[in-house]
Amino acid sequence: MEADSRLVLPLAALFTAFFVAPLVVLLLLSLHGDIAMQGWTLGNYVKFFSDPFSYSILIDTLLLGVKATLVCLLFGYPVAWLCASAGARWQSVLVFLVILPILTSVVVRTFSWIVILGRQGLLNQIVTGLGLSNEPLRLLYTEVGVVMVLAQVQMPLMVLPILTVLSKLDPNLGDASRVLGAGEWRTFFRITLPLSLPGIIAGCILTYAASITAFVTQTLIGGARLIYMPLNIYQQAVGANNWPFAAALSIIFMITVMIVVGVLGAIGRRSEIHGRA
């Protein structure tokens, strides 16, 4: 027991030094009017909630996460199902292809998308070449482009949890359903989909949290026209040199993300209990 306690102490010290302490400093800074931390005030929080522009940025960021997560789920679930259904040899290859983007810098991938989504980019050349549009599509520096790139960048975070759950499903359940007369689609919606909900929820949590905090992707693809919370915090801290307000924005953003993740986690636990029942 004492040995276990000694092993926990270094981990607790690291957690306190690199997570708790910075959060405390951030909270204290947000409760002051200037970086010198002279005088306590809630003015930074009042400023945020009384400013429709700041409040709208938070809402836009949360909605951006929802859109990116839904796109990831729409394309990620079939990919996970394909990986789970493949043989052992092909499954290893497919999983490697899913993980491969993670091994590449997000900056490199985002710059690649800038080339693809540009007016003379690969996507517009295909669209205009096929006669689908007379003019190049405007995708770069738009929310559609941001959602597309976020979905691709965060796709492994959606696929891997779903793949883990699908790989553990008993194939006899599907066989029994088909023997009893259920078709493929009914088997999927009545058995496979409900049992894979824990993986879906886990993937949604990871994808959502990563999407709304993806400063690099949001900034490079969205540009200065689209302002989300990470860019807003950066502009307040570096551009306006208003560190206390930036700290308040960070605290508000963090609490909001924790609430959303907590709600999704509770839904995931309920679905897991329901699936076991």
Q: What is the pLDDT of residues 143-162, one digit of tens each?
A: 999 999 999 999 999 999 99
Token pair recorded at residue 255: 């609490």
Query: Does an H or E element contain 154, and which?
Result: helix 143-168
Average pLDDT of the residues in 179-204:
84
Cβ–Cβ contacts within 10 Å for residue 165, how many?
22
What is the average pLDDT across 133-142? 85
Higher pLDDT, 217 or 267: 217
Overall average pLDDT of the 110-116 stretch:
90
For residues 115-123, give the mean pLDDT. 85
Kindly tell me the burial class for residue 65, based on how many C-beta atoms sit within 10 Å of its own C-beta (0-12, 13-18, 19 or more).
buried
Q: What is the pLDDT of residues 208-261, one digit of tens each?
A: 999 999 999 999 999 878 999 999 999 999 888 889 999 999 999 999 999 998
Tell which phi-psi region holds residue 185, choosing left (phi > 0), alpha (psi between -120 and 50) or beta. alpha
Q: What percent of the chain has pLDDT over 70?
A: 94
> Which has the closest alpha carbon to 69: 228, 213, 169, 251?
213
Using one digit for the tens of pLDDT, what is the confidence trace for 49-98?
A: 998 999 899 999 999 999 999 999 999 999 999 998 887 788 888 888 88
Q: Please provide the average confidence, as pLDDT, over all residues in the chain.
A: 86
* 15-19 mean pLDDT: 77
pLDDT value for 87:
78
Instruction: Catalogue all structural domains in the chain, each as residue range(s) with its CATH number.
Output: 45-276 (1.10.3720.10)
Residue 193 pLDDT: 86
The number of helices, as runs of H, and strands, as runs of E, in the chain is 15, 0
CB 209 within 8 A of CB 257: yes
Residue with tokens 């005030």, as numbered in its chain: 41
Distance CA 194, CA 191 (A): 6
Q: b/e string for 248-269 if b means 16 or more Cβ within 10 A? A: bbbbbbeebbeebeeebeebbe
